Chain A
Amino acid sequence: MTLTIILLGAAALIGIGLYGALSQQSFVMLMMGLELMLNGALLAIIGFWSLSLGGMPEGQLLAIIVMAVMAIEMAIGFALIVAVYRKRQADMTESIGTLKQ
């Protein structure tokens, strides 16, 4: 029962994060959507590890890898935002429409 609740929460977080990543115009808000999806993944991993895997240590390892992915995503994401802003004075996805070409 607890596992079902946790996994439903994780599903909702991933849905909200997908909505944010697709709908936000500002790069920074877009990254918050990505972080929210990773948050859902982390929640699901913790739930599975604790209630369904009997405490296999590999489950905790997977959670640590998700945290590393979050850190990498944020560092590289902000570096890219700064680089694009220097080049184009752009902080919205619409401002770099030439990438479509």
Chain B
Amino acid sequence: MTDLLVTLLAAFTVWTGWRVFRVDSMVRASFSLMLSFIAVGGIGVLLSAPYIGVATVFMMAVEMMVMAIFMVMFMMNPAGLNPMSMVHQHRFSIGAGVVAALGLGAAVLLSSPPSNPVLSDADVVAELGHELLGPSMLIFETAGVTLLATMVGAVILSSRQGRFGNADEGSRPPGLSPDGEPAGRKPDNGGEGHHHHGGHG
């Protein structure tokens, strides 16, 4: 029974993952990715990793909501009414994806990992807690400090200006060739790089 459910969820997570790049709206793509993550969380719950599974579901639900907001901000095709295809180097990408999937799949099929399932009466959540605040405490705390640094970095990167005004005020980017034109967007004809409508004809 568990095997069947796990198989179905694995198929569902791959299918929704594939839908991410097939749907016509980026919001739909974001929710498709959320379903894929939720299926992985469900597999975790089924395979006796309740904490990891539930944490995945919660975290990804929130993360994909945030992602959907960014999608609306940067989206070129809000309603998904037109076909959306914004791809480059398509053949190479398909080839790389297929080669990666087939290579990893062959490695899975050719190897024989040991069969050593979790005991059904093991208290895995308590074990995880003892591990996090015991032998692996340094790793756990490092992850926490890294997340703090991420928050600070994200705010600095995305804030409009620093405490003393724009950091690049009066600066000119270097030319692409010696003594050439300054690189980057010209200040006067703003919106030059605004190729929003590249993909949907």
> Which A residues are within 8 Å of any B CB, using their own CB?
1-20, 22-29, 32-33, 35-36, 39, 42-43, 46-55, 57-58, 60-61, 63-65, 67-68, 70-72, 74-76, 78-83, 85-96, 98, 101
Contact = CB atoms under 8 A, between A and B. Distances in A.
Contacts of A70: 59, 63
Contacts of A55: 48, 117-119, 122, 124, 127
B5 to A, nearest CB: 10
B82 interface: no
Given A8-B105, A16-B14, A46-B40, A53 B116 contact: yes
24 contacts: A11-B104, A14-B104, A15-B102, A22-B93, A23-B90, A28-B70, A29-B29, A43-B40, A46-B44, A49-B49, A50-B117, A51-B117, A55-B48, A57-B128, A57-B130, A58-B136, A60-B52, A60-B127, A67-B56, A67-B59, A71-B147, A76-B153, A79-B154, A92-B198
Main secondary structure of the interface of A (DSSP, over half): helix
